[in-house]
Chain A
Amino acid sequence: MAINEQTRAELRELISRYPEPRSALLPMLHLVQSVDGYITQAGIDACAAEVGLTTAEVSAVASFYTMFKRYPVGKHHVGVCVNSMCAMKGGDAIWKRISTDLGVGHDETTTDGQITLERIECQAACTHAPVMTVNWEFMDDMDEQSATKLISDLKSGADVKSTRGPRVRTFKEVSRSIAGFDDGLVDEPATDAAMLAGLNAAKKAGN
Chain B
Amino acid sequence: MTKLVPNLTAHWDEADSHTLAGYQRHGGYSALKKAFELGPDAVIGEVKESGLRGRGGAGFPTGMKWGFVPQGDGKPHYLVVNADESEPGACKDIPLMMANPHSLVEGVIIASYAIRANHAFIYIRGETPHPIRRVRQAVAAAYEAKLLGKNILGSGFDLDVVVHSGAGAYICGEETALLDSLEGRRGQPRLKPPFPAVAGLYASPTVVNNAETIASVPAIINNGAAWYKSFGTEKSPGIKLFAVSGDVKRPGIFEAPLGITMRELIDYAGGMVSDRPVKFFVPGGSSVPLLTPEHIDVPLTYEDMAAHGTMLGTGTPMVFDTSRSVTQAVVRWIEFYKHESCGKCTPCREGTYFMVDILKRLEKGKGEISDLDLLVDISAQISGRSFCALGDAAATPIPAALKYFREEFETKLVGAK
Contacts and interface: CB of A to CB of B under 8 A. Distances in A.
Contacts of A79: 127
Contacts of B318: 84-85, 126
A142 to B, nearest CB: 14
A196 B127 contact: no
Given A68-B167, A191-B17, A202-B6, A84 B94 contact: no
Nearest to B4: A202
Contacts, number: 242
B245 A84 contact: no
Interface stretch (A5-13, A109-117, A143-151, A180-188): A180-188
B165 A179 contact: yes
A26 B177 CA distance: 14
Interface string B62-83: 0000000000000010000000
Interface string B308-335: 0000000010101000110011101100
B168 A191 contact: no
A23 interface: yes
A22 B181 CA distance: 10
Contacts of A64: 169, 186-187, 342
Nearest to B119: A19
A58 B51 CA distance: 43
Most buried by A among B126, B137, B184, B339: B184
B73 to A, nearest CB: 17
Nearest to A166: B130
B252 A198 contact: yes
Interface string B241-270: 011111000111111100000000000110
Nearest to A66: B168
Interface residues of B, number: 84
A198 B167 contact: no
Nearest to B202: A20
Interface residues of A, number: 72
Interface stretch (A96-104, A132-140, A152-160): A132-140
B252 A127 contact: yes
Given A66-B168, A124-B90, A202-B6, A26 B183 contact: no
A4 interface: no
Contacts of B165: 26-27, 30, 178-180
A39 B57 CA distance: 34
B133 A194 contact: no
A27 B13 contact: no
Given A193-B250, A198-B4, A121 B98 contact: no
A129 B323 CA distance: 16
A137 B94 CA distance: 12
A33 B93 CA distance: 26
B344 to A, nearest CB: 11
Contact of A17 (B3, B162, B255, B269): B162
A198 B255 contact: yes
A207 B7 CA distance: 12
29 contacts: A23-B164, A23-B183, A23-B184, A26-B184, A61-B184, A66-B167, A66-B168, A67-B166, A67-B167, A84-B332, A85-B246, A87-B328, A122-B90, A124-B128, A125-B94, A126-B90, A126-B245, A126-B251, A126-B316, A128-B251, A136-B128, A187-B19, A191-B12, A195-B9, A195-B252, A197-B269, A198-B4, A199-B6, A207-B6
Given A65-B126, A198-B254, 15 more contacts: A20-B183, A23-B183, A64-B186, A67-B127, A83-B88, A84-B333, A122-B86, A127-B95, A129-B246, A129-B251, A178-B126, A194-B251, A197-B252, A205-B1, A205-B3
